[in-house]
Amino acid sequence: MLSKKNKEALFNPLSKDNPVLVQILGICSTLAVTASMEPAIVMGISVIAVMALSNVIISFIRKSIPTTIRIIVQLVVVAALVIIVQQFLIAFDYDVSKQLSVFIGLIITNCILMGRLEAFALNNRPWPSFLDGIGNGLGYTIILVIVAAVRELFGSGTLMGFQVIPQWCYDHGYENNGLMILPPMALITVACIIWVHRARNPELMEN
């Protein structure tokens, strides 16, 4: 079930080949949905689901897809899955679906997802493609959650909406950093994470 190749497909995107930190993909949604943890987690789970299922579907039909229309076929598959995810969110978590707004719909054009369909699912069997989708989705989600945790903690003093910084800190003059919930701070936070990651993995600088 988990051969060396399958393990690499599942675990490499978590760090060694992380789509955000190494490939520098998915930055737009990382900036947009990480002001707090709840929408970031929901966005991450949505991307994992769409990526894993679309990888499997494209892998199953890869031999019957004409080369000239493969991008269109991929978009149709992804769009159908995104619509299902969007309707599920509206039905079961309407408030978060409003926070995410158009960004769930923009999963259709997520460069991580389209890249994995083109580079992996079209050339591999369904099981490895499923693992690749899960791995890359998790790698993306981990960064989303880390960025959201930093921004929410220092920008609002909360995590998942629960007060973390005690009231006595505010009584003694502490104030939340309003800059942290603005999009530019998401970019700076991601840049700092990339810097730390590459400092700990110097071999990435050689690629």
The rounded distance, in Å, linking the Cα atoms of 100 and 124 is 32
Region 136-162: mean pLDDT is 93
Residue 202, pLDDT score: 81
Residue 205, pLDDT score: 65
Region 32-39: mean pLDDT is 86
- Please give the DSSP secondary-structure letter assigned to residue 158: E
Residue 1, pLDDT score: 64
> In which residue are the tokens 């099981």 written?
127
Q: How many CA atoms lie within 13 A of 189 on its CB side?
A: 27
The rounded distance, in Å, linking the Cα atoms of 168 and 30 is 32
**Helix or strand holding residue 162 (H, E):** strand 162-163
Among 13, 10, 33, 4, CA closest to 190: 33
- 126, pLDDT greater than 90: yes
Helix-then-strand count for the chain, H and E:
9, 2
Write the pLDDT tens digit of every residue in 162-185: 899 999 988 888 889 888 988 888
**This prediction's pTM:** 0.90
Q: What percent of the chain has pLDDT over 90?
A: 46
Crossing angle of the two packed helices 111-119 and 37-61, in degrees rounded to 10: 20
Write the pLDDT tens digit of every residue in 59-105: 999 999 998 999 999 999 999 999 999 898 888 888 878 877 777 87
Residue 207, pLDDT score: 54
Regarding predicted confidence, which is higher, 124 or 3? 124
Residue 122, pLDDT score: 92
Q: Which long-range contacts (CB under 8 A, 24 or more apart) does 69-74 make?
A: 70/118, 70/122, 71/118, 74/114, 74/117, 74/118
Contact 180, 150 (CB under 8 A): yes
* Encoded tokens for 172: 């003694």
Residue 74, pLDDT score: 93
- 132, pLDDT greater than 90: yes
